[in-house]
Amino acid sequence: MDKNRLIEEATAFVRSELENEASGHDWWHIARVTKMAKHIAEQEGADVFICEMAALLHDIADEKLNEGGEEAGLKRVKDWLEVHQADNEMINTIIEIISTMSFKGGNHPPMTTLEGKVVQDADRLDAIGAIGIARTFAYAGAHGDLIYDPAIHPREKMTKEEYRAVKTTAVNHFYEKLLKLKNLMNTDTAKEMAEARHQLMEDFLQKFYHEWEGNL
Ligand code: ADP
Ligand code: NI
């Protein structure tokens, strides 16, 4: 099995699957996360190839993109890897990473492998900062949520079902998830990168309320 070839084929597969996804899981999200995962993996001494493969495939199994839910999505990834002759150990590692890394209200146990920590950090870095702000408003628009409503308060604690089902606003999403991510980073490399991105969101919110109040 040729690793470079596998990366190329996974890239083509994911690109064709997610090219027209406008809800925050588009191909460019995958491209950014994969690049970031490679960078963090190099800094942290993780297996770069595993991180790259898991980053490329991490959203193919997303429950929002699969009719049969997350289970069916994971099976698709597994089948794809088998057809492309990935070895069993590699398949198990990749499936373990992508089945445990999603936020879903913050209710997941910690990642068990260094490679999982790296890919989860890369995905989380793409949810904060300037890109994170853009994705949040794109997601809210796609789901018919308001940018802000002072009468709808952010939820403190929620189950995975509530996190998905109950209506919220784009601004509330900062409090329900995005501002928590800085402290949830696994690796030192990602913790350091998260600082400036976090500060940008704090500054953005401050300016947002300032303008909301009609200040000049
Ligand atoms: P996760 O799988 O980590 O729970 P998603 O894959 O659902 O997150 O999120 C895709 C993008 O949309 C991310 O940038 C995320 O922060 C954003 N997003 C998720 N839920 C909401 C929401 N309720 N309102 C606004 N943005 C959201
Ligand atoms: Ni993602």
Query: Which CA distances in Å does 81 have to 23, 37, 73, 152, 192?
Result: 26, 20, 13, 44, 34
- Per-residue pLDDT at 11 exceeds 70: yes
Q: Is the CB of 73 under 6 A from ligand 1?
A: no
- Does 104 contact ligand 1 (Cβ within 6 A)? yes
Its pTM stands at: 0.92
CA of 157 to the centre of ligand 1 (A): 16
Could you identify the atom of ligand 1 that is nearest to the CA of residue 168? 23
Ligand 1 pocket test, candidate residues 135, 174, 205, most atoms within 8 A of CB = 135
For ligand 1, what atom is nearest to the CA of residue 123?
3
- CA of residue 212 to ligand 2 center, whole Å: 31
Confidence (pLDDT) at 120? 96
- The answer, yes or no, to whether any atom of ligand 1 lies below 6 A from the CB of 173, is yes
Query: Is the pLDDT score of 5 beyond 60?
Result: yes
- ∠ CA 91-33-124, nearest 5°, is 100
Using pLDDT thresholds of 50, 70 and 90, give the confidence band for residue 113: very high
Mean pLDDT of the chain, nearest integer: 90
Mean pLDDT of 181-206: 98
pLDDT, one tens digit per residue, over 52-64 is 999 999 998 876 6
Which ligand is in closest contact with the Cα of 32? 2
pLDDT band, residue 166 (cuts 50/70/90): confident
Ordered DSSP codes for the chain: --HHHHHHHHHHHHHHHHTT--SS--HHHHHHHHHHHHHHHHHHT--HHHHHHHHHHTTTT-GGG-TTHHHHHHHHHHHHHHHTT--HHHHHHHHHHHHH---GGG-PPPPSSHHHHHHHHHHHHTTSHHHHHHHHHHHHHHTT--S--TTSPPPSS--HHHHHHS---HHHHHHHTGGGGGGG--SHHHHHHHHHHHHHHHHHHHHHHHHHTT--
Per-residue pLDDT at 154 = 87
Measured distance CA(76)–CA(62) in Å, rounded: 11
Distance CA 156, CA 89 (A): 39
Atom of ligand 1 nearest to the CA of 127: 14
131-151 mean pLDDT: 94
